[in-house]
């Protein structure tokens, strides 16, 4: 009998909650339904304040945790209704939650996601798997990125090496070889700085079709300062997030320089392109590249990647049968399946953990 799993993902861009229903059949693991639910403006602002101010009262933190879980549960129930599926047909939900802080390198490494899985299970009647990162961290890993294991399971090709490039708020790459364990890490900012800057300048959540960036020019001096951040020269394993790359970080680098807003936007796009392409050229100069995440919709970003990586074939994951906007949602559906089957996830080569582990806590309905 075919089995269904649900995956939930809300990333550093804070644009929407992605939800995917995936079906496990003898033919494989495939996406059968999906939706993207925008985060309410007040919730988004509260989450941004928690992430960027790094201080929050416990009442607000608890309430946002609760509100985000209700958003998840409502989105699931709505998609089940439109898909004509019953809760009893779903084996499990995999909920990443919303990361509000990720600190893998301190004296006491930790990661924090909100979105109470108890509420999600109770409101949907479906077991919910969450807290995927901390067991990896308990074994000395960074707890991120998690998606390379899924990319390996779904996309690795025995005939040729592949790179899966996910450009969400943060960009990460998975280097796939069917004969080896997957490798991967966060290359640095994806959309996060571009989104933050246009939000500051134009009160928009993102630069649709890169129209604002296309009005500007790359600022070599600013690009050099941005690229000088030590993160870019760190060796893998490495992971990052909004706690590192944010608008305060950008403003501190701009300092008292007077730049046109559109030139900064164009320069931020170039920073994303160069930080990604440098790692791809280092890790897989002869691999085919498949792009997913919101950055796949940015024509300027995709054009510049093609120009720099001009000897490599670049496509979106549509070519592999998965909508590029929902690859991460699919990943958490797959991680939920693996947890319910008590499978160890092969990630120690990615995260630096001492060993692979069963990831996620199960909350039964």
Residue 340: which residues within 8 A CB-CB, separation 6 or more?
Answer: 91, 92, 127, 129, 362
Regarding whether 165 and 65 lie in a shared domain, the answer is no
Q: Is 116 helix (H, G, I), strand (E, B) or coil?
A: coil
More confident residue, 275 or 54: 275
Regarding whether 358 and 277 lie in a shared domain, the answer is no
Task: Express as a percent the part of the chain with pLDDT over 70.
Answer: 100
**Mean residue pLDDT across the chain:** 95
| Residue that terminates a domain, selected from 304, 320, 336 | 320
CATH of the domain at 316: 3.30.420.40
pLDDT at 14 over 90: no
**Residue found by looking up tokens 């339904």 in the block:** 33
Mean pLDDT along residues 27-40: 95
pLDDT at 186 over 80: yes
In whole angstroms, what separates CA 242 from the centre of its chain?
A: 12
pLDDT at 32 over 90: yes
Q: What is the pLDDT of residues 86-120, one digit of tens each?
A: 999 999 999 999 999 999 998 999 999 999 999 99
Regarding whether 339 and 235 lie in a shared domain, the answer is no
Q: Across-strand partners of 21?
A: 6, 33
pLDDT at 45 over 80: yes
Q: What is the reported pLDDT for 361? A: 98
* Among the listed residues 83, 90, 79, the one whose alpha carbon sits nearest the alpha carbon of residue 5: 90
Regarding whether 353 and 284 lie in a shared domain, the answer is no
Q: Across-strand partners of 93?
A: 6, 128
Regarding whether 260 and 215 lie in a shared domain, the answer is yes
Q: What is the pLDDT of residues 125-175, one digit of tens each?
A: 999 999 999 999 999 999 999 999 999 999 998 888 899 999 999 999 999
Regarding whether 80 and 26 lie in a shared domain, the answer is yes
pLDDT at 1 over 80: no
Q: How confident is the model at residue 332 (pLDDT cuts 50, 70, 90)?
A: very high
Q: What is the reported pLDDT for 179? A: 79
Mean pLDDT along residues 222-242: 96
* H/E stretch holding 333: helix 327-340
Q: What is the pLDDT of residues 238-261, one digit of tens each?
A: 999 999 999 999 999 999 899 999
Domain that holds residue 251: 147-320
Q: What is the reported pLDDT for 16? A: 92
- CA-to-CA separations, 232 to 236, 237, 253, 274, 338, in angstroms, rounded: 10, 12, 15, 10, 32
- Tell which phi-psi region holds residue 131, choosing left (phi > 0), alpha (psi between -120 and 50) or beta: left
Regarding whether 316 and 169 lie in a shared domain, the answer is yes
For the chain, the C-alpha Rg in angstroms (whole number) is 20
Q: What is the reported pLDDT for 312? A: 81
Q: How many structural domains are present in the chain?
A: 2
Mean pLDDT along residues 13-30: 94
Mean pLDDT along residues 333-338: 98
Q: How confident is the model at residue 313 (pLDDT cuts 50, 70, 90)?
A: confident
Q: What is the pLDDT of residues 276-286, one digit of tens each?
A: 999 999 987 78
Q: What is the reported pLDDT for 154? A: 95
Mean pLDDT along residues 205-214: 96
Regarding whether 220 and 202 lie in a shared domain, the answer is yes
Regarding whether 225 and 100 lie in a shared domain, the answer is no
* Among the listed residues 21, 98, 92, 90, the one whose alpha carbon sits nearest the alpha carbon of residue 67: 98
Regarding whether 15 and 128 lie in a shared domain, the answer is yes
Q: Are 316 and 296 in contact (CB under 8 A)?
A: yes
Q: What is the reported pLDDT for 129? A: 98
Regarding whether 345 and 234 lie in a shared domain, the answer is no
Mean pLDDT along residues 181-208: 94
Q: What is the reported pLDDT for 55? A: 82
Task: Express as a percent the part of the chain with pLDDT over 90.
Answer: 89
Mean pLDDT along residues 48-73: 92
Mean pLDDT along residues 223-243: 96
pLDDT at 180 over 90: no
Q: What is the reported pLDDT for 177? A: 85
Regarding whether 255 and 131 lie in a shared domain, the answer is no
pLDDT at 81 over 80: yes
pLDDT at 311 over 90: no
pLDDT at 201 over 90: yes
Query: What's the burial of 235, exposed, middle or buried (CB within 10 Å: 0-12/13-18/19+)?
Result: exposed
């Amino acid at each position: 009998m075919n089995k269904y799993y649900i995956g939930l993902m809300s990333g550093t861009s804070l644009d929407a909650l992605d939800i995917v229903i995936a079906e496990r059949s003898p033919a494989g693991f495939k996406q059968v339904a999906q939706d993207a639910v925008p985060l309410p403006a007040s919730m988004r602002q509260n989450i941004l304040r928690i992430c960027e101010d790094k201080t929050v009262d416990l009442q607000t933190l608890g309430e946002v945790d609760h509100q985000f879980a209700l958003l998840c549960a409502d989105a699931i129930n709505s998609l089940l209704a439109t898909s004509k599926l019953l809760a009893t047909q779903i084996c499990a939900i995999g909920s990443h939650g919303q990361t509000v802080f990720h600190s893998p390198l301190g004296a006491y490494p930790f990661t924090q996601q909100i979105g109470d899985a108890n509420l999600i299970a109770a409101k949907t009647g479906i077991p919910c798997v969450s807290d995927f990162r901390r067991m990896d961290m308990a074994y000395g890993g960074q707890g991120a990125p998690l998606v390379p294991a899924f990319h390996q399971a779904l996309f690795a090709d025995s005939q040729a090496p592949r790179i899966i490039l996910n450009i969400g708020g943060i960009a990460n790459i998975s280097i796939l070889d069917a004969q080896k364990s997957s490798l991967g890490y966060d290359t640095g900012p994806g959309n996060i700085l571009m989104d933050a800057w246009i939000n500051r300048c134009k009160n928009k959540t993102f630069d649709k079709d890169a129209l604002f960036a296309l009005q500007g020019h790359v600022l070599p001096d600013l690009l050099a300062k941005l690229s000088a951040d030590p993160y870019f020269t760190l060796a893998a394993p490495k992971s990052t997030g909004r706690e590192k790359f944010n608008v305060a970080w950008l403003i501190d680098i701009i300092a008292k320089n007077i730049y046109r807003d559109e030139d900064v936007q164009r320069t931020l796009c170039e920073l994303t392109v160069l930080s990604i392409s440098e790692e791809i050229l280092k890790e897989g100069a002869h691999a085919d590249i498949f792009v997913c995440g919101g950055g796949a919709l940015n024509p300027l970003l995709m054009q510049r990647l093609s120009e720099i990586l001009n000897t490599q074939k670049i496509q979106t994951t549509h070519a592999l049968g998965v909508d590029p906007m929902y690859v991460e949602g699919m990943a958490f559906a797959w991680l939920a399946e693996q947890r319910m089957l008590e499978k160890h996830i092969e990630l120690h080569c990615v995260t630096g953990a001492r060993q692979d582990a069963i990831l996620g806590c199960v909350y039964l309905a």
